[in-house]
């Protein structure tokens, strides 16, 4: 174990190295580039026994990593924003073929106009594809969850690919102290690679040929859904195991902050959860009983965990850093739908902030929450379910 | 394809075999008809057929045999034939 100052991107690179990734395929894009630069350096320096495949596009980057993974090795790629959208077709192919693979997404908004700052438009655009999707709050979580993601995705109850997301610049290019576990510890933690089938010479196998029976085709989709549901238990088991080895337990699909006696709940995910913690502290100082639910995994969605906390709440305020234009923020839509389906009638509101990378401070979050709580305390409801928040 | 189940997962995999997608010959609108008297045995039709639906006969008799169970009627064989030994005629 050694504590080093690492950017979020370097934390991802160290995690891929420690996970003994054998093939890296990537195409450079801001703000992801320094991840694969670091991996290229590890390989060049002989610190990492892997092949780096340089490709002409992100579509090919994931296709190459996917091909390697289909051949039976741990494979890895990383991308952002426009590159991720260019890759989107392959994102579905990897999940549909049930090949475990880990990808880092350094979240960055989408054009036009050209903009490199963070929001969650790119990662949330992948949420229906069948991948496990998580967002990290800090660089230690980037490293930990990348290693854990290999174990989770290669579990026979799951057999799906997984995405670890981190916010552009706020994490990707910001240095924090990160505890890097020993190689021996990671080797003990990660079993030899498992996957549902392996393509190998002399053993011909077809993947993805035209289905003869569409019921079977639909069952494949149901099986992906069921496997994501089953992944919830695996995520918690792996979280517990990693906690025992390193002392760092995050709490599975969500992490709670000052929730025990809370009347009002903030829900959010990603780097700004750190600011939300400070906002909660500040609101608590003013006597407002606010708790924070940090969504770690958005797929599978932590329905049971969130409902358990908010069943008797006075209000739920969901912060989204992206929007499904014409409806609402995707995190809000999930929370609201599952509250309704479970028969829980809690006033719920969506605050859309930080979209396109607009800076959001903890004072902004406290301000938006304070006004929302004041309204619901006075009237028992929210007059608007959606608020575009531009700052104080 | 015959969908595979491995370790409880429903998978889009299958073992390669003839006609994994069923008899695709039923998709055909135009049918290639072969005239052995014009054939010069260049094998271009056999080489270009995207469905592997043309078999060669080196033993004497008609030189090629078109497998109408899987020929989709794309017409590539007729197009590449330098002697017009294959003509496309409407089905039915």
Do A242 and A260 fall within a single domain? no
In this prediction, residue B2 has a pLDDT band, given cuts at 50, 70 and 90, of: very low
**Residues 11-70 in B contacting A (C-alpha not used; CB under 8 Å):** 11-16, 20-22
| Interface contact flag, A220 B3, Cβ < 8 Å | yes
Instruction: Tell me the CB-side half-sphere exposure of residue A182, using CA atoms within 13 A.
Output: 5
End residue of a domain, out of A212, A227, A246: A246
Each residue's pLDDT tens digit, A75-119 = 999 999 999 999 999 999 999 999 999 999 999 999 999 999 999
Q: Which residues of B touch A210 (CB under 8 A)?
A: 1, 20-21
Task: Calculate mean pLDDT across residues A349-356.
Answer: 98
For residue B29, count other CB atoms closer than 10 A to its CB.
Answer: 12
- The CA distance from A149 to A297, in Å, is 11
The CATH number that domain B23-90 falls under is: 3.30.70.20
Same domain, A176 and A264: no
**Same domain for A68 and A111?**
yes
CATH of residue A38 = 3.40.50.970
Give the pLDDT confidence of B45-71 residue by residue, as tens digits.
Answer: 999 999 999 999 999 899 999 999 999
* pLDDT mean over A314-331: 98
Among candidates A196, A209, A217 on the partner chain, residue whose Cβ is nearest the Cβ of B14: A209
Top mean pLDDT of A210-219, A252-261, B13-22 is at A252-261
| Residue-range definition of the domain harbouring residue A262 | 254-388
Give per-residue pLDDT as tens, A249-286.
999 999 999 999 999 999 999 999 999 999 999 999 99
Least confident of A1-15, A125-139, B15-29: B15-29
Chain A contact present for B5, CB below 8 A: no
**CATH code, domain with A326:** 3.40.50.920
Q: Hey, are the CB atoms on A219 and B7 less than 8 Å from each other?
A: no
Assess A97–B contact: CB distance below 8 Å, yes or no. yes
Last residue of a domain, one of A246, A270, A295: A246
Write down the ipTM of this complex.
Answer: 0.80
- Identity of the residue in A208, A209, A223 whose CB atom sits nearest the CB atom of B9: A223
Is A151 in the same domain as A219?
A: yes
Are residues A241 and A258 both part of a single domain?
no
Share of chain A above pLDDT 70, in %: 100
The CA–CA distances, whole Å, from B90 to A147, B31, B45, B75 equal 60, 6, 19, 11
Boundary (domain end) residue, out of A218, A246, A274: A246
Number of structural domains found in chain A? 2
Q: Phi-psi category of A258—alpha, beta or left, where left has phi over 0 and alpha has psi -120 to 50?
A: left
* DSSP assigned state of A78: E
Instruction: Looking at the structure, tell me whether residues A133 and A108 fall in a common domain.
Output: yes
- Residue B12 has its nearest CB partner, among A96, A156, A204, at A96
Say whether both A10 and A119 belong to one domain: yes
> Stretch A57-73: mean pLDDT, rounded?
98
Instruction: Report the alpha-carbon distance of residue A107 to residue A253 in Å, rounded.
Output: 19
Q: In the block, which residue shows the tokens 């234009």?
A: A325
Same domain, A130 and A193: yes
Whether A211 shows a pLDDT value over 90: the answer reads no
**Residue B21 pLDDT greater than 80, yes or no:** no
């Amino acid at each position: 174990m050694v504590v080093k100052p690492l950017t979020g991107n370097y934390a991802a690179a160290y995690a891929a190295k420690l996970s003994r990734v054998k093939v890296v395929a990537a195409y450079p894009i801001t703000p992801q580039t320094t991840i694969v630069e670091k991996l290229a350096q590890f390989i060049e320096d002989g610190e990492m026994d892997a092949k780096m495949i340089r490709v002409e596009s992100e579509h090919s980057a994931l296709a190459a990593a996917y091909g390697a993974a289909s051949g039976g090795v741990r494979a890895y790629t990383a991308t952002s924003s426009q590159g991720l959208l260019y890759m989107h077709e392959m994102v579905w192919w990897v999940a549909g073929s049930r090949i475990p693979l880990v990808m880092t997404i350094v979240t960055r908004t989408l054009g036009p106009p050209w903009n490199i700052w963070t929001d969650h438009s790119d990662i949330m655009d992948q949420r229906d594809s069948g991948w496990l999707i998580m967002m990290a709050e800090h660089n230690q979580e980037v490293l930990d969850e990348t290693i854990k993601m290999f174990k989770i995705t290669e579990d026979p109850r799951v057999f799906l690919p997984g995405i670890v997301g981190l916010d552009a610049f706020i994490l990707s290019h910001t240095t924090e102290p990160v505890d890097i576990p020993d190689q021996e510890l990671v080797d003990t933690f990660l079993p030899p690679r498992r996957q549902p089938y392996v393509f190998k010479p002399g053993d011909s196998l077809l993947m993805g040929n035209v289905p003869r029976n569409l019921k079977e085709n639909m069952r494949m989709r149901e099986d992906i859904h069921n496997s994501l549901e089953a992944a919830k238990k695996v995520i918690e088991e792996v979280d517990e195991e990693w906690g025992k080895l390193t002392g760092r337990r995050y709490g599975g699909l969500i992490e709670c902050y000052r929730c025990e006696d809370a009347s009002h709940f903030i829900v959010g995910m990603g780097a700004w959860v750190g600011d939300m913690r400070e906002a909660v502290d500040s609101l608590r100082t003013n006597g407002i009983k606010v708790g924070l639910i940090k969504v770690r995994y958005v797929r599978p969605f932590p329905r049971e965990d969130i409902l358990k906390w908010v069943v008797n709440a006075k209000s739920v305020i969901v912060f989204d850093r992206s929007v499904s234009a014409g409806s609402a923020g995707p995190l809000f839509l999930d929370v609201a739908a599952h509250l309704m389906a479970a028969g829980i009638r809690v006033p719920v509101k969506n605050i859309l902030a930080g979209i396109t990378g607009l800076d959001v401070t903890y004072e902004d979050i406290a301000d938006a929450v304070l006004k929302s709580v004041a309204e619901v305390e006075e009237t028992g409801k929210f007059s608007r379910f959606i608020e575009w928040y531009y700052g104080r | 394809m015959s969908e595979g189940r491995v370790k409880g997962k429903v998978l889009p995999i299958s073992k390669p075999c003839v006609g994994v997608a069923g008899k695709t010959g039923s998709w055909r609108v135009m049918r290639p008809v072969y005239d052995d008297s014009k054939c010069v045995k260049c094998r271009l039709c056999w080489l270009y057929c995207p469905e592997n639906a043309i078999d060669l006969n080196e033993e004497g008799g008609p030189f090629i045999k078109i497998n109408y169970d899987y020929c989709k009627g794309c017409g590539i064989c007729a197009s590449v034939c330098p002697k017009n030994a294959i003509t496309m005629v409407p089905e039915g």
